[in-house]
Amino acid sequence: MAARLKFWGWGREDEVLTREEVMRLEAAYAKRFGVSSFEAASTPKAEEIGLRAPRATVPGALSDICSTDHYERLLHTYGKSFFDSARVFARDFSNPPDVIAFPRAESDLVSVIDWSGAIDAVVIPWGGGSSVVGGVEPPRTERPVVTIDLKHMGKVLEIDTISQCARIQGGTYGPALESQLKPSGLTLRHFPQSFEYSTLGGWIATRGGGHYATLYTHIDEFVESLRVVTPAGALESFRLPGSGAGPSPDRLFIGSEGILGIITEAWMRLRPRPKYRAATSARFADFYRAADCVRAISQAHLYPANCRLLDAGEALVNGAGDGTHAVLVLNFESADRPMDSMMARTLEIVRAHGGDYDEAALGKEGAQREGAAGQWRDAFLRMPYAREVLTPRGIITETFETAITWDRFRDFHEQVKRATEQAIQEVTGRPGIVTCRFTHVYPDGPAPYFSLHALGRKDSLVEQAWAIKIAASEVLNRLGGTITHHHAVGRDHRRWYDRQRPDLFAEALRAAKQRLDPKGMLNPGVLVDPL
Ligand SMILES: Cc1cc2nc3c(=O)[nH]c(=O)nc-3n(C[C@H](O)[C@H](O)[C@H](O)COP(=O)(O)OP(=O)(O)OC[C@H]3O[C@@H](n4cnc5c(N)ncnc54)[C@H](O)[C@@H]3O)c2cc1C
């Protein structure tokens, strides 16, 4: 049997960084912050944490699929942001959900929603719980909170190999989704960093961003049709390759973050697994020159699958560089044809912008797993496990991602970075590290992703991290960047989202919510307040 999921970190209880990895991390951070060593708080144990008594009693008819189990309530209290991690290590479980429901079929789901309505409960849809924006945590309310975990609705129900699509349940985790598709030779190829512990329904509900750095950047592009259960009933859209029939019903629910209904199934567009690849990485002395290069690649409509630009600091932190140059990780892939000519043209653009690249990697099988590209990939996969080592040592590790048009990029990047660095200095009393990479790029602009590392005080990590986040988000919002490119709005980004989206649009969304969820049960506080 698989080990339990950690309520205090990423993945399962038997998946932790090795002793050597921990020592390496400690040494690297000690050097960065100029300290000799760290004292680590202990990992919380389920039995040492007291929870308030559940505020609802599960009726007999639902007892098979609803639980008030202590561990389940701990596990479903938080998502996976730094703020969540800091509260976990502070043993702050003051606002847990009351009941966790595990429907096995749509009929179970309807019964849970009906019961929740009858007891005036708040309902929180839960996929993998990997939200980093407070999307799955209970709001502070007198109402009981029922979290609906869709993990038992995790099947690929049907594969249409002619149209290359599949009907997939909302609670399907990434690995289960790909392994069920594998015999067909088709793949969704949506690989967020959280792939292992997040679900299709969560990806759609948050407009997640995945594998493709260009063209198919968000899950949106792969959704062919949706089935959604709302408190007002179920609805399903036509399966269509495209349609001009009015506003898209799918687009109302894609990105709805669980406030309008629960996505139980989706027909998803698939593709054959790639057979041809061309991969390398390029180095640039200057980050902005490298950004110009990425713009030129993007505006030449070359569409590399991977086009991730790491600034020198980001490359250093992830072992893909020595901190003196920016690194551009490039990868083309296709199931149909060799990608060499696309890569050759891309490298002409790289050279024209003063970049030099790894000639030896070109044409080599598995090049995307070697050299700087491979280092980056390995670090990317281990990164989620680092937080549970760093938080107990008082190290704040946060990320925020945005998008901005190219004409404003340089000034935007300079100001956001400076504001974040200043905030770290003011809040923690010492310099921190702020790095940037592009996760996705478009002909009209990049999606910069900032990571910050700061040494905080263990007794006020949440407050300090919030002060830094507010300072960064204020500047980002004032300069016209989006408050999120793919992590979603949740509860954490509400104040900036409210300024970003037009007021009349918010009223229209609220009216749609009123129609679908008249009692305001679903995820209150996320995206809009009820009417
Ligand atoms: C280490 C790490 C790496 C990450 N990397 C990425 C990345 O590369 N790209 C990216 O886009 N995001 C990333 N994220 C953020 C997160 O994984 C995504 O937001 C993901 O899409 C959430 O999926 P989930 O199944 O875990 O949803 P949850 O966290 O359970 O839920 C997210 C939101 O969707 C709602 N929801 C969940 N399931 C449903 C459903 N079936 N119907 C309706 N509403 C639902 C919830 O109520 C909540 O508001 C990362 C997070 C972590 C911790």
Listing DSSP states for 308-352 in one string gives EEE-HHHHHHTTSS-SSSEEEEEEEEESSS--HHHHHHHHHHHHH
Cβ(300)–Cβ(345) below 8 Å: yes
The dihedral of CA 44, 47, 50, 55: what is its sign?
positive
Sheet holding 122-126, edge to edge: 66-67, 99-101, 145-149, 122-126
The CB density around residue 465, as the number of other CB atoms within 10 Å, is 24
Whether ligand 1 lies within 6 angstroms of the CB of 250 is answered as: no
Pocket of ligand 1 contains residue 257 by CB under 6 Å:
yes
Please state, in angstroms and rounded to a whole number, the distance separating the CA atoms of residues 203 and 208. 5
For ligand 1, say whether the CB of 432 is within 6 Å of any of its atoms: no
Neighbours of 159 (CB within 10 A): 18
Residue 173, phi-psi category: left (phi > 0), alpha (psi -120 to 50), beta (remainder): beta
Q: Reduced to 3 states, what is the DSSP secondary structure of residue 63?
A: coil
Is the beta carbon of 214 within 6 A of some atom in ligand 1?
no
Count the neighbouring beta carbons within 10 Å of the beta carbon of residue 5: 17
Coil, strand or helix at 430 = coil
8-state DSSP, 55: S
- H/E element holding 147? strand 145-149
Any ligand 1 atom below 6 A from CB of 125: yes
Give the orientation angle of helix 406-428 with respect to helix 461-478, to 10 degrees.
150
Angle at 388 between CA 46 and CA 485, to 5 degrees: 115
Kindly give the distance from the C-alpha atom of residue 471 to the centroid of ligand 1, in angstroms, as a whole number. Answer: 25
Please state, in angstroms and rounded to a whole number, the distance separating the CA atoms of residues 168 and 184. 14
pLDDT in tens, the chain (531 residues): 889 999 999 999 999 999 999 999 999 999 999 999 999 999 999 999 999 999 999 999 999 999 999 999 999 999 999 999 999 999 999 999 999 999 999 999 999 999 999 999 999 999 999 999 999 999 999 999 999 999 999 999 999 999 999 999 999 999 999 999 999 999 999 999 999 999 999 999 999 999 899 999 999 999 999 999 999 999 999 999 999 999 999 999 999 999 999 999 999 999 999 999 999 999 999 999 999 999 999 999 999 999 999 999 999 988 888 999 999 999 999 999 999 999 999 999 999 999 998 777 776 666 667 777 777 777 888 889 999 999 999 999 999 999 999 999 999 999 999 999 999 999 999 999 999 999 999 999 999 999 999 999 999 999 999 999 999 999 999 999 999 999 999 999 999 999 999 999 999 999 999 999 999 999 999 999 877
In 10 A of CB 405, how many CB atoms?
13
* Cβ count near 395 (within 10 Å): 24
Tell me which of 198, 207, 236 to substitute to probe ligand 1's pocket, judged by most ligand atoms within 8 Å of the beta carbon.
198
Instruction: Please choose from 130, 235, 517 the residue to mutate so as to test ligand 1's pocket, defined by most ligand atoms within 8 A of CB.
Output: 130
Q: Are 62 and 104 a contacting pair, CB within 8 Å?
A: no
CB 139 within 8 A of CB 491: yes
Distance CA 122, CA 522 (A): 6
Specify the residue with its C-alpha closest to ligand 1, atom 18. Answer: 131
233 CB burial (10 A radius; 0-12, 13-18, 19+): exposed
- Radius of gyration for the chain, computed over Cα atoms and rounded to the nearest angstrom: 23
Of the candidates 214, 235, 228, 224, the residue with the CA atom closest to the CA atom of residue 257: 228
Q: Are 189 and 271 in contact (CB under 8 A)?
A: yes
Beta strands 145-149 and 99-101 are: parallel
Report the nearest atom of ligand 1 relative to the CA of 128: 26
Indicate the helix (H) or strand (E) that contains 450: strand 445-455
CB 320 within 8 Å of CB 383: no
Count other Cβ atoms within 10 Å, centred on residue 273.
Answer: 15
Q: How far is 448 from 340, CA to CA, in rounded Å?
A: 28
CB atoms within 10 A of CB 435: 20
- Specify the residue with its C-alpha closest to ligand 1, atom 5: 193
Counting from 1 in the atom list of ligand 1, the atom nearest the Cα of 131 is 29
Ligand 1 centroid to residue 142 C-alpha, Å: 26
Q: Are 93 and 152 in contact (CB under 8 A)?
A: no
What distance in Å separates the CA atoms of residue 306 and residue 459, rounded to the nearest whole number?
Answer: 40
Index of the ligand 1 atom closest to the CA of residue 490: 49
Contact 328, 350 (CB under 8 A): yes
Q: Residue 447's closest CA among 436, 459, 438?
A: 438
- CA dist., res. 412 & res. 445, Å (int): 12
Ligand 1 centre to CA of 300 (Å) is: 32
Q: Which residue CA neighbors atom 22 of ligand 1 most closely? A: 202
pLDDT for the residue numbered 379: 80
CA 328 to chain centre: 22
The half-sphere exposure of 207 on its side-chain side, counting CA atoms within 13 A, is: 15
* 103 token code pair: 């429907």
Of 314, 351, 316, 346, whose CA–CA distance to 330 is shortest? 346
The CB of 446 under 6 Å from ligand 1? The reply is: no
Q: Count the Cβ atoms, other than its own, within 10 Å of residue 466.
A: 17
Given a contact cutoff of 8 angstroms between Cβ atoms, the answer to whether 86 and 485 are in contact is no
Q: How far apart are alpha carbons 486 and 191 in whole angstroms?
A: 13
Q: Whole-angstrom Cα distance, residue 83 to residue 79?
A: 9
**Is 126 near ligand 1, meaning CB less than 6 Å away?**
yes
